[in-house]
Amino acid sequence: MEEKNQQNEEMTAAKSLALITETLNNSRRDILRNNSKYFVLWGCLLTAMSLTIYLLWHFNGSPKWNFLWFAMPIGYLIAAMMGRHDKDKPQSEIGRILGYIWTVFGVFSVCISAIGVFAVPLHVTLLIVVMLGIAECISGAVLKNWPIIIAGFILGVGGALVAVLVKSEAQLLLFAFGGVLLAATGLTVKFQNK
């Protein structure tokens, strides 16, 4: 009875609006916080892979270690395993858009790399670093987060310049930096939505 009375209690307009705002914000924060771990995963994976290939190339003198990049899609398996416990978490429009952006980036990266390695010579580093910067910039715009937008711009535009100026294995350090930015994006999203 008391519960019923509580439900029928009249709310003021201000209280109602405050409740809507708070509930929407809480829900949004919860979803974004959950999505942030995938940024951290891909960032760490990218940095680890870049540094591994860099070191192998540097000490063995063979660029063939670049074939290890084709192992990157393993990240999707790890992400799927991480997401097993998220099935009860609802999906929001923002989370879905971020997912689309990074899936498109991943697919394009694999295809561009394959074309560059097996078909026609392309400046793969330049193309991927620009795409990485664009994806990061758009993610920042979706999240309304200026530091992420600026980081994406620096990575895309600055990275394009560095990719042309720097030769061979040193280019991999660019990806390592990109990975750090990606992980930092995830951590920013996580702590922003605590």
Partner 1 sequence: MFPKLDPLLHSELRLALMSILAGVDEADFTYLKKQTGATSGNLSVQIDKLAAANYITVEKAFKGKMPHTTCKITQAGREAFRNYVDALKEYLSIGK
What is the spatial distance between Cα 148 and Cα 145, in angstroms, rounded to a whole number? 6
- Min separation Cβ 16 and partner 1, Å: 5
Among 91, 104, 144, 150, binds partner 1 (CB under 8 A): 91
Question: Is 5 an interacting residue with respect to partner 1 (CB under 8 A)?
Answer: no
Question: Is 83 an interacting residue with respect to partner 1 (CB under 8 A)?
Answer: no
Longest pairwise C-alpha distance within the chain: 78
Indicate the angle between helix axes 124-143 and 146-153, nearest 10 degrees.
Answer: 170
Q: Using CB under 8 A, which of the segments 2-10, 60-68, 114-122, 186-194 binds partner 1? A: 2-10
Which is nearer to partner 1, 98 or 160 (by Cβ)? 98
Q: Select from 66, 48, 49 the least CA-distant residue to 57.
A: 66
- Min separation Cβ 83 and partner 1, Å: 15
- Min separation Cβ 96 and partner 1, Å: 8
Q: Select from 39, 18, 24 the least CA-distant residue to 191.
A: 39
Question: Is 144 an interacting residue with respect to partner 1 (CB under 8 A)?
Answer: no
The answer to whether the beta carbons of residues 52 and 175 sit under 8 Å apart is no
Among 1, 5, 7, 167, binds partner 1 (CB under 8 A): 7
What is the spatial distance between Cα 63 and Cα 42, in angstroms, rounded to a whole number? 23
Question: Is 1 an interacting residue with respect to partner 1 (CB under 8 A)?
Answer: no
120: which DSSP letter?
S
- In the numeric block, the tokens 């395993």 are attached to 81
Question: Is 2 an interacting residue with respect to partner 1 (CB under 8 A)?
Answer: no
Among 23, 60, 62, 168, binds partner 1 (CB under 8 A): 23
Residue 48 Cα to chain centre, angstroms: 15
Question: Is 27 an interacting residue with respect to partner 1 (CB under 8 A)?
Answer: yes
Take residue 64 and report the two structure tokens written for it: 């063939």
Residues contributing to the site for partner 1 (CB under 8 A): 3, 6-11, 13-14, 16-17, 19-20, 23-24, 26-28, 30-31, 88-92, 96
